[in-house]
Chain A
């Protein structure tokens, strides 16, 4: 136990130092069931660039807990091309694969050329080149990390994506969008009134959210580019908890215009009517569109908040959670196999349920957790927790083995939402 802890601590320190320049820095605790040892050699010419590539790939892979990243910088000479790799030296470092490459700047553009080589077969697993504007260097790095994830671990990507969350500093609320690793945070909405429930449109181009700027909760949709925004649900009473339909044309929202809190569908473009889909219970809220088009939601119809599933056209609902007296904020993984939700035992924790066996596993021991949101590949869950009396973001792998704490510099950080994979 102790040795395991020491090992975890060591990896946490390593990663923390590697991420020193992040807008949000992070600590990793725990490792995946299978850790793939990969050596990363610094790319030719990358140190001279404003944004080196390999530190970004290193952080992505290390943060996933699925890779043991080995520094290839002390290989002599550092290989930049496949023919320069000494495979016995790679194997001696305990690595199964090695990532090498070079960076060629050309005015405002930069060309990134990479190879991932297998030490045992001496074959090339990835050979890739892309030319992008210098400002998009990190984007390419995340893309390469996703390729490695796919090729080595057989898992689809998650690094080349963005997250949205709300930061409260004093009386100022900001809805921010950042890369999934916390870099490049940008406020897309600033208000003196609360903002909550940011949700990404399926194409990643818009955010739906709730703003209290008119002294009541109203659901807005905002274009990320250009910043155009409109009211998607602004009925008498409260308008809350937006969720995008899989095709992006509709939002499921919670309205109180009839009795209690009920789930309605409204057009995401605004200006339309509303169609009620939930029928029984005082409270039906936290709708979430499952990949198959069904709606997961929280209802008090059984006497306590529990998670249910119904068709998007309404009708009968199937109760999914039975363990404990408070289960809420349910979301299905992209493959539909795992339900993540918040469960109350002594505090409020992140839990997952295997949809096939209905087995429940509590993943966190922090006790103020909220708003769990799956990575685009379903392998990690980002959520809101409390640290030092403030709201903070944390992530946990869906199997509970890897925990990542993201540390914002200031303010209360809440209500994260993980967006789709970028192209």
Chain B
């Protein structure tokens, strides 16, 4: 499942590169190679790093880089980021500080219990909780937008404890992804 998402992301990035009018014909050459490498798990992202115009993207999608981790899960009725996500949030904050043109959208989500409209506000609290950590690390407001999907976009359908715990989350999405 994750792999599919990842390769879809790669495909999207490749498409973005291909449609970008800037790169000289030379830079489009590695693209087909990347596409074939993609079936071959590991080195797929390397080619994208070499694409000179968007050097940062490999860090965000490299499965070996913590920046590819985008989900912060929350306990039931909790709107506080668990310490175990400190490293993850710090890594994203550091990335944003190093890339002033990058913007992140923090998308808060809830489990399926409660009214749909109230859950938008609860999901918002989960997005804000992650933002608070990033702000404390110096990331300016202009680089962060917090939004909520409430219970409208569950990561996992169903009404089991497990589905609920996988749905109480904030997703870190970079603008343009």
Residues of chain A at the chain B interface (Cβ within 8 Å): 194, 196-197, 210, 212, 215-217, 236-238, 240-241, 254, 256, 260-261, 282-283, 285-286, 298, 305, 326, 328-329, 342, 344, 348, 368, 370-371, 414-415
Contact = CB atoms under 8 A, between A and B. Distances in A.
Size band of the B side of the interface? 20 to 34
A286 B147 contact: no
Contacts of A305: 114, 118
A348 B113 contact: yes
A80 B150 CA distance: 56
3 closest pairs, A vs B, by CB? A261-B121, A194-B152, A216-B147
A196 B151 CA distance: 11
B124 interface: yes
B133 interface: no
Contact of B120 (A238, A282, A368, A371): A238
A368 to B, nearest CB: 8
Nearest to A168: B152
Given A240-B148, A254-B121, 6 more contacts: A216-B145, A236-B145, A237-B145, A256-B121, A298-B115, A371-B116
Contact of B125 (A254, A260, A286): A260
Contacts of B164: none
A329 to B, nearest CB: 5
B100 interface: no
28 contacts: A196-B150, A196-B152, A212-B152, A215-B147, A215-B173, A237-B145, A238-B120, A238-B121, A238-B147, A238-B148, A241-B120, A256-B146, A256-B147, A261-B124, A283-B121, A283-B125, A285-B118, A298-B115, A298-B117, A326-B114, A329-B117, A344-B114, A348-B113, A348-B114, A368-B112, A371-B116, A414-B116, A415-B116
B146 A254 contact: no
Nearest to B146: A237
Contacts of B111: none
B172 to A, nearest CB: 13
Q: Considering residues A237, A238, A414, which has the most beta carbons from chain B within 10 angstroms of its beta carbon?
A: A238
B118 A329 contact: yes
A212 B124 contact: no
Interface string B108-151: 00001111111011101100100000000000000001111110
| Chain B contact residues, majority secondary structure | mixed
Contacts of A344: 114
A116 B148 CA distance: 54
Contacts of A260: 121, 124-125, 128
B124 A237 contact: yes
Contact of A342 (B105, B115, B125): B115
B146 A217 contact: no
Contacts of B122: 283
B114 A328 contact: yes
A286 B145 CA distance: 22
B99 interface: no
A254 B120 CA distance: 9
A282 B121 CA distance: 9
B105 A215 contact: yes
Contact of A254 (B105, B114, B117, B145): B117
Given A216-B105, A371-B115, A285 B121 contact: yes
